[in-house]
Structure 1
């Protein structure tokens, strides 16, 4: 195995060889897009430094020229992005219709009352694990130890409890989900029938 100094020297040699072969072409490319300006020279130096940072890994690059030009394109993109003026967002832009119950909150944030009601309708063991793990932040492993359960059994119980909670919330509060599975709306109904407990 080569010594670290030898590897570093190999890397430097690979970079120097590629740079000698392509520096003029890279400079012309950058000047073509940026003009005869300091930014073109600055980005040329940035490309060289990025190549140096590769160390001996640069020697394994199959097409050094393509790699150098890709780095140059990325450097130009970053340069142009930094030059783009940042316009403040106008306060006159239209806003989404606010929910009168709590302006600015997502639909899922209005489910607190429904959740508390539905938890009271679940089986006690379902409600206990949901409260502990989902509302109070207890780990499933800690819950399993406290209840004398194996970890797989506790995970299975939590999964089933969450499924029953979801089903009950859809029934009791008319919760609807979008294509990503996120809550998009709900309509609490005090008279919604509760499904029979399992």
Structure 2
């Protein structure tokens, strides 16, 4: 994301809106940046609802600070600066927005406030708004949460958005040396959190699901609807990582233990065995929305969402989310 990418006519229109003092005119011209700013806030916060709130806070701050815009940077850069600092202010106040120890043997932390990001709310032009698939996937979002807030901001501005060190330093009111040091530390943490993953976040990345991913999610849905426990087991890797948010307890288990655990918890038993599922995507990952019909009910009601990370035709990670009461997912509440 460089200043040169914004046409001069747009910048002139923005300056005119600032000088007009007309809040509706100002809102119309800043609104075009909503989706990309919301993705930026989501990378900082890992929570869709928080990202919505902080994007709105960004627009409010931009209006209140409109006289500070002098045209030295593009309107987009100016808005990103405001959004980043709004997120940092939020994180300073919300001490519950940090990974917690998993409580399981060995090292491990959980991001209990993590929420999925609906693909329909991503910017329409991924290349234009610098949304690479790897930087919206759940594993990346979780890894970023392990960075201290200011280090996190430096990493996102520098390695995701591609800002030069001088611009990031100005936005965060740091020295260039401080930004460089913070970025080096952040990169070390990201390599530890994402071993074996591609770490060149600014180069182009694919945005389409693979045939493998599409096939696995179809098979997962088919097995779920038929209560085919053997079929489900065959889709899972033996080193499956499973978490059901917002509950605590990330588990790494064999495929058989995972399915046995679901059954012992009541799934696929009488009263919880009438499923319908819908294929969807969130965070540019394959997902299944699971609907359950309980005895006496005439409809299947939205229950959970299962987000799948597929490796070599098997489910390596399954992240479950409570999908009830979240209309922003864009899913029908009943089938």
Task: Report TM bin, short chain.
Answer: 0.3 to 0.5
| TM-score when normalising by structure 2 | 0.21
| TM-score when normalising by structure 1 | 0.33
- Larger helix proportion, structure 1 or 2? 1
- Larger strand proportion, structure 1 or 2? 2
User: Rg: which structure is higher?
Assistant: 1
